[in-house]
Every structure is written in C-alpha cells, then in structure tokens.
C-alpha cells in the first residue's frame, strides 16, 4: 500500500529521518533548512519519534553533538544551509576524521558577504575536501529516498554523508512524494554498529594527538600514524562508489525507484551535445535538452548525483562519445572555474577524450535560470565550438562589465 503525500523537500528529508529511526538530532535554525528540524522537533515532542533532540546554540555545536553522540553508538542527524554549514567546517573535518556515519541534509544556499538567503551550491561545494560523501538530489522523492540510502552507505563505509538539495527550489516546493513503508525501511537499514564505541567498559582515548609516523601500542603492535589514517579515509571514500551504486540498486529493487547511483543520464545515447549539472539545475537541463531537440539539436543531460567521491569512471563513460560538453553549475571556485567543470575535465584527462567543455556559472544567490536560457546558452556554445573555441567560461544572466 503506497503512501503518497504532497510535501516540500524539507518535509521529505524529515520523513526520511523518521523512517531511519534516528536517535539523536541536533540543529540550529537557518533558512532555508529550518523546517526540516522543526518538523522533527514536532515529532519528538509528540512522541512520534523516539530521539534525543539537542537544541544547541550554534552549528559548530550541532556537529559536535552529532560527533559525540555517534561516538557512543547513536544514529545522528542534522540539517543546515549556507553559513551554518560554513560554521560547522571544522567539525565536518572532525566527523570524517573520526569515521562517523553522520548524515546531514544540506539545503543549498549562497554564502555572504553580502547576505543572500537564496539558492546556489557554494556552501556544500566549499566543503568538498572535508572527507564527506556528497549526494545531490534533483527532486523531493529523491530527497527522502537518498536520506534512507545515506544511512546505509554511511554506516557501511564509516564516512559521513551530506544529502544536498537546492534551497527553495526543492526545500519549499511541493510535489507528490511516496513515503516508503517503515517496516521495509527497517529491513533495508540494519541498526548502526559503531567501529569503536566509547564506553567505561573499554576505556580508550579517542582522537588524541597523533604523530606523523607509526607508533607501537602497549602490546607492541605498530599503529597508524596521521598520514596512514588519512589514506584510509581516502581509500574509504574511493571505495564507497561501489557501495553507493549497490545501495542504490538494492533500494530500487526493494522500493521501485532508481535514482541513478553515481550519476544519471537523459537522452544521452545519441547526443551531439551533453549538458551537465548537479541538483535541480540538471533537472532544468532536461527541459532544455527537450527544447533543443525540438529545434533539431540532439541534446542530452548528465546529472552528477554523487560529487564526492567523484564518479570518475562514470563520467568517462558518459561523456566519451559526446562531441561537446556544456556544464551548468551554481558555484564558482574563485580564481579558476566552476568546481564541477574542473572535475569533469580532470576526469577526462589521459583518456584521449578531447571534447570541448564549456562552463556556465548560473543561478548564484538565487538568480533565476530558465530552461530556454540554458538551451540558448547551449546553442551559443555550439556555435563557438564550431568556430574553434574549445574552452569557455560564461556567467549566465550576469552583468560582466566593469
């Protein structure tokens, strides 16, 4: 019996948390993520979700609570946006370094100065190198499903997972969402088993000072130095690709929805140009591709779902036949280009793929991006590529004169 309800992206995230029987939730309000944890607070106070809810005084403390609670064996959750995520930055590193399977819903929003409450993905992209898995959702159904998958992935590879979705565009927009059956979620998601548990029964000093080199413990066993531990985190992230794909596949089998593993494609097989993006801008690109096809240009879309670990092999496979690539993204790595564009190009290096890649920075701070504007951008890029311009960075719908 399917339970379909009309809900926002934030409600979808909250339902995912409830279904996963999260034990400790900590949060600090920030637009546009606030209603995720308001919804959860309501369930906790009404006794509909048996969880400890810690109403801390800052996002830095939020992630600290998640780290400490996870260390004693509790399944933990939080959500945040923008400056909240930036304020957590130190603790994001600490969570990943501790190898704790914390799940965070990042409701993507631009970062100041100056203040913007509106959507782009600069907040989570700026956390790229913290050691978190990052998954970008394209609609509300994918949000609820991805939260559930995120716990399976996190607790299997002992890495935290950031479930990212666009502020307002998804967080405050309603669509029909099927709520998975709670018992089936219980079967899909076994209880959290910590890799190490902090308890008086087995006293240990977790995360003390560590030297660059290996050292022997009291029994004479050689233990990791700092760098060896860092390699293990990198190895876990690299290895998490298989887990992400497998979890996505198993989820599809059990619940009938496949969100694409590392990335998804749309009309890509015969495409003469591939549009690429993450999150809702990739969804917008599918409409743009249809518009382009109506005009005789065989366009397709590659939606990068998992940004870290980066889908190196899948990107190579997805783009290897395309004569042209146009990347749309809501972030900028200042002094270089869009982060996704740079990563796609890097993934193609050494493969012999010499496809031109054009990069559009779009929708920063909530600036509207319409499908027909994406289509027009693709047309102009194809013309430029035909004229020999293989690489180009363009700020879409933006005044670019001094």
Partner 1 sequence: MPEKLFKVHKEEYMLPGNRACAGCGLSLAYRYVLKALRENTILTIPASCLTVLHGLYPTTSVAIPSLNCTFASTAASASGLVAGLAAMNRSDITVVAIAGDGGTYDIGIQALSGAAERGTDFIFVCYDNEGYMNTGTQRSSATPMGALTTTTPVLTKQQNKKDMMKIMEGHDIPFLATTSPSFPIDLYDKFVKAKRIKGTRYLQIATPCPPGWVFAPKDTVKIGRLAVETGIVVLYEIENGKFRFTGRSKTLAEKGTRAPVIQFVERQGRFKKMSLEQLGQLQRWVDHKWAECLKRAEV
Q: How far is the CB of 29 from partner 1 (least distance, A)?
A: 14
Q: How far is the CB of 115 from partner 1 (least distance, A)?
A: 21
> Which residues, at least 6 apart from 192, have a Cβ–Cβ distance to it below 8 Å?
73, 74, 75, 101, 151, 155
Beta bridge partners of 138: none
Q: Environment class of residue 65 by beta-carbon count within 10 Å: exposed (0-12), middle (13-18) or buried (19+)?
A: buried
Question: 49 or 288, CB closer to partner 1?
Answer: 49
Question: 74 or 248, CB closer to partner 1?
Answer: 74
Note whether 390 and 358 are within 8 A (CB).
Answer: no
Question: 202 or 401, CB closer to partner 1?
Answer: 202
| Count of beta carbons in the 10 Å neighbourhood of residue 386 | 10
Question: 23 or 122, CB closer to partner 1?
Answer: 23
Note whether 159 and 130 are within 8 A (CB).
Answer: no
SS3 315: helix
Q: How far is the CB of 38 from partner 1 (least distance, A)?
A: 18
* CA 364 to each of CA 94, 164, 169, 257: distance values in angstroms, whole numbers, following the listed order: 29, 16, 13, 31
| Binding residues vs partner 1 (CB under 8 A) | 23-24, 26, 51-52, 54-58, 60-62, 64-74, 76, 90-91, 94, 198-200, 202-211, 215-218, 221, 223
Among 20, 57, 59, 69, which Cα is nearest to 40's?
20
Q: How far is the CB of 144 from partner 1 (least distance, A)?
A: 23
Question: 34 or 98, CB closer to partner 1?
Answer: 98
Q: How far is the CB of 215 from partner 1 (least distance, A)?
A: 6
Q: How far is the CB of 79 from partner 1 (least distance, A)?
A: 16
Question: 6 or 206, CB closer to partner 1?
Answer: 206
Asked if the peptide bond before residue 314 counts as cis, ω within 30 degrees of 0, the response is no
């Amino acid at each position: 019996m399917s339970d379909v309800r009309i809900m926002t992206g934030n409600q979808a995230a909250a339902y995912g948390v409830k279904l996963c029987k999260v034990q400790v939730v900590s949060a600090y309000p920030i637009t546009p993520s606030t209603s995720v944890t308001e919804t959860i607070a309501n369930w906790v106070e009404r006794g509909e979700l048996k969880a400890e809810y810690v109403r801390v005084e800052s996002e830095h403390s939020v992630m600290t609570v998640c780290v400490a609670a996870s260390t004693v064996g509790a399944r933990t959750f939080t959500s945040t946006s923008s400056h909240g995520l930036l304020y957590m930055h130190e603790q994001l590193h600490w969570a990943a370094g501790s190898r704790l399977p914390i799940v965070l819903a990042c409701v993507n929003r631009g970062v100041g100065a100056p203040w913007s409450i509106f959507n782009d993905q600069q907040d989570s992209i700026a956390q790229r190198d913290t050691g978190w898995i990052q998954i970008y959702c394209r609609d509300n159904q994918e949000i609820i499903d991805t939260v559930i998958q995120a716990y399976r992935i996190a607790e299997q590879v002992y890495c935290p997972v950031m479930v990212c979705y666009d502020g307002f565009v998804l967080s405050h927009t309603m669509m029909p969402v099927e709520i998975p059956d709670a018992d089936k979620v219980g079967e899909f998601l076994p209880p959290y088993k910590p890799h190490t548990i902090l308890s008086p029964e087995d006293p240990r000093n977790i995360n003390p000072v560590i030297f660059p080199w290996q050292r022997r413990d009291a029994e004479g066993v050689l233990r990791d130095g700092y760098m060896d531990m860092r390699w293990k985190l990198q190895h876990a992230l690299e290895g998490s690709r298989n887990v992400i794909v497998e979890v996505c596949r198993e989820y599809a089998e059990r619940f009938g929805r496949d969100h694409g593993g590392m990335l998804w494609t749309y009309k890509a097989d015969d495409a003469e140009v591939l549009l690429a993006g993450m999150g809702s801008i990739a969804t917008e690109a599918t409409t743009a591709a249809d518009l382009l096809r109506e005009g005789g240009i065989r366009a397709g879309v590659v939606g990068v779902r998992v940004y870290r670990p980066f889908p190196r092999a899948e990107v190579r496979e997805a783009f290897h036949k395309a004569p042209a690539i146009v990347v749309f993204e809501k972030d900028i790595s200042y002094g270089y280009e869009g982060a996704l564009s740079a990563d796609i190009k890097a993934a193609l290096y050494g493969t012999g793929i010499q496809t031109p890649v054009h990069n559009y920075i779009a929708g920063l701070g909530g600036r509207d991006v319409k499908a027909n504007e994406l289509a027009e951008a693709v047309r102009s890029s194809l013309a430029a590529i035909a004229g020999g311009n293989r690489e180009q960075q363009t700020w879409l719908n933006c005044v670019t004169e001094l």
